[in-house]
């Protein structure tokens, strides 16, 4: 039996895998991308924001040709309780000109397909409808992949695992820590169709401008997670995502959480007339920085979600980290190829490149975010609720003298907040939340 051989095999046509394939193909490397869906993007999902700094380097002015939905000029971070919303709202004309703050909404089924076409045009091979079922090993060195096809072994100098958050191959090969309820979020989202004119009117936008709203606190019942609404061209994405451990702890179903969020009095008016055209779900990795593996071994590198490269803080970036890791893996391969050394030592520059970049600097900074929130639940539950109540009551008009209101609210905060605990928490929060 003869096996096919490529210089690089990439498992998974998502943003990280395609970014690697595009970079390698441009350097005239023989690269094969193996995708289990009908086409690149068929099974790919995200909340909805494409952070595009790396993309703009790979494909300059991608927004002119690529199927992005809207550029985000308005960001809002809101906390909810049962009846109220308090929000920080940022809208800037600076985000309205290229490169548009590197922040776009997109729909992955369309976008990834286009992005994969760029890699194909550069010379990458992409094979669809093919599931990689295992890695081929020679000692402790990965030498290829075993696919579900007959005669389906493919050998390679280097395998790049870009298999996504459900990191079955990486985990089975011991290349990453096991997935667990405390390092995985489950997110569900719906796409609601709405005409562009309605979206622009409702969200105060013009032309291709877009809005991105994140909701915390009571929006997800005080769990570690958030809810969101993002505007696409002629639809909006509405979803929730929480740590799986929190769903288990509170015996909450993700779809029930989504339905409650959609019914909130501050949310429901934004959804009026929206017809659900898709329901989708994915896991999101929130592997703490300290728990990340080396992310490479002999003949193999991990990129994107399976490597755990998501910023778990309020920034919640993933797409840009995914693409950056794909590019770094490609560059590490090119360096290894010069010496024909694809051993772990030969590929070690992958991790060095990550470590020297904003990717690992950000992940290192937010290394404790998820842990901190799990053990300081006041930040996702009590404090947001208290903040809303204080602000709501402060602006409640009932002919009480303002001095009395102030006194009452100060007393309320004193009663409900353990002062020294808060001081200590805020000291720690500087490196976990902001």
Partner 1 sequence: MPIDVKDYLKPHVTLSMAERLDLVRRRFADESHIVVDQEAFKKDPDQAILFVCPAQVFKLNEKEGTCIVNFEDCLECGTCQVARRYTTWRNPKGGYGVTYRFG
Question: With respect to partner 1, which residue has the nearer C-beta, 220 or 359?
Answer: 220
Residue 38 in contact with residue 128, Cβ under 8 Å?
yes
Three-state DSSP class for residue 2: coil
- Please tell me the distance from the alpha carbon of residue 8 to that of residue 279, in angstroms, as a whole number: 35
Two tokens, residue 379: 């930040």
| Site residues (CB under 8 A) for partner 1, limited to 324-343 | none
Q: Which of 82, 83, 129, 140 binds partner 1 (CB under 8 A)?
A: 129
**Residue 290: its H or E element:** none
Question: With respect to partner 1, which residue has the nearer C-beta, 272 or 407?
Answer: 272
**Number of alpha carbons in the 13 Å side-chain half-sphere of residue 47:** 28
Q: Which of 9, 13, 43, 63 binds partner 1 (CB under 8 A)?
A: 43
Q: Which of 68, 159, 188, 213 binds partner 1 (CB under 8 A)?
A: 188
Kindly state whether residue 170 participates in binding partner 1, applying the rule CB under 8 A: no
- Please tell me the distance from the alpha carbon of residue 208 to that of residue 98, in angstroms, as a whole number: 12
Kindly state whether residue 52 participates in binding partner 1, applying the rule CB under 8 A: no
Kindly state whether residue 279 participates in binding partner 1, applying the rule CB under 8 A: yes
Kindly state whether residue 221 participates in binding partner 1, applying the rule CB under 8 A: no
User: Closest approach of Cβ 130 to partner 1, in Å?
Assistant: 4
Q: Which of 181, 358, 393, 422 binds partner 1 (CB under 8 A)?
A: 181
- Please tell me the distance from the alpha carbon of residue 367 to that of residue 283, in angstroms, as a whole number: 19
List the alpha helices (DSSP H) in 108-179: 108-121, 168-172
Kindly state whether residue 177 participates in binding partner 1, applying the rule CB under 8 A: no
Kindly state whether residue 151 participates in binding partner 1, applying the rule CB under 8 A: no
Two tokens, residue 87: 């929000």
Q: Residues 6 or more apart from 171 whose CB is under 8 A from it?
A: 178, 179
Residue 11 in contact with residue 17, Cβ under 8 Å?
yes
Q: Which of 148, 174, 207, 265 binds partner 1 (CB under 8 A)?
A: 148
Q: Which of 61, 97, 121, 180 binds partner 1 (CB under 8 A)?
A: 180
User: Closest approach of Cβ 259 to partner 1, in Å?
Assistant: 5
DSSP letter string over 10-29? EE--SHHHHHHHHHHHHTT-
Kindly state whether residue 204 participates in binding partner 1, applying the rule CB under 8 A: no
DSSP letter string over 373-405? HHH-GGGTTHHHHHHHHHHHHHT--SS--HHHH
Kindly state whether residue 278 participates in binding partner 1, applying the rule CB under 8 A: yes
Kindly state whether residue 87 participates in binding partner 1, applying the rule CB under 8 A: no
**Residues binding partner 1 (CB under 8 A):** 36-38, 41-46, 107-112, 128-131, 133, 147-149, 165-166, 168, 179-181, 184, 186, 188, 190-192, 194-195, 197-198, 235, 244, 247-248, 251-255, 259, 262-263, 268, 271-283
């Amino acid at each position: 039996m003869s096996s096919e051989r490529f210089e690089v095999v990439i498992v998974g046509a998502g943003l990280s895998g395609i970014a690697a394939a595009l970079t390698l193909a441009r350097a005239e490397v023989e690269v094969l991308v193996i995708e289990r869906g009908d086409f690149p993007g068929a099974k790919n999902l995200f909340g909805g924001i494409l952070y595009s700094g790396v993309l703009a380097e790979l494909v300059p002015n991608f927004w002119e040709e690529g199927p992005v939905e809207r550029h985000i000029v308005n960001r809002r971070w809101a906390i909810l309780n049962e009846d109220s919303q308090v929000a920080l709202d940022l809208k800037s004309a600076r985000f309205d000109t290229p490169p548009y703050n590197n922040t776009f909404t997109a729909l992955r089924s369309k976008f990834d397909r286009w992005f994969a076409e760029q890699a194909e045009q550069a010379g990458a091979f992409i094979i669809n409808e093919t599931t990689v079922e295992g890695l081929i090993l020679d000692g402790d060195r990965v030498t290829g992949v075993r696919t579900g096809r007959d005669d389906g072994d493919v050998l390679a100098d280097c395998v790049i695992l870009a298999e996504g958050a459900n990191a079955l191959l990486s985990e089975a090969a011991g290349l990453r820590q096991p997935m667990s309820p405390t390092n995985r979020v489950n997110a569900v989202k719906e796409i609601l169709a709405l005409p562009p004119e309605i979206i622009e009117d409702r969200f105060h936008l013009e032309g291709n401008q877009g809005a991105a709203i994140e909701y915390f606190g009571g929006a997800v019942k005080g769990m570690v997670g958030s809810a969101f609404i993002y505007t696409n061209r002629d639809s909006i994405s509405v979803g929730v995502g929480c740590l799986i451990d929190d769903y288990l702890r509170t015996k909450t179903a993700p779809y029930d959480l989504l339905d409650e969020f959609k019914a909130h009095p501050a949310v429901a008016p934004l959804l009026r007339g929206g017809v659900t055209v898709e329901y989708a779900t994915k896991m999101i990795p929130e592997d703490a920085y300290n728990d990340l593996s080396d992310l490479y071994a002999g003949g193999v590198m991990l990129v994107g979600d399976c490597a755990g490269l998501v910023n778990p803080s309020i920034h919640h970036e993933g797409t840009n980290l995914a693409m950056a890791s794909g590019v770094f893996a490609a560059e590490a391969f090119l360096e290894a190829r010069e010496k024909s050394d694809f051993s772990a030592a030969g590929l070690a520059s992958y991790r060095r490149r990550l470590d020297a970049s904003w990717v690992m600097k950000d992940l290192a900074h937010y290394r404790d975010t998820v842990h901190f929130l799990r053990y300081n639940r006041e930040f996702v539950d009590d404090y947001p609720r208290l903040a809303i109540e204080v602000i709501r009551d402060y602006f409640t008009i009932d002919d009480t003298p303002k001095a009395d209101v102030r006194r009452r609210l100060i007393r309320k905060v004193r009663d409900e907040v353990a002062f020294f605990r808060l001081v200590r928490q805020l000291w720690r929060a500087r490196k976990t939340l902001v």
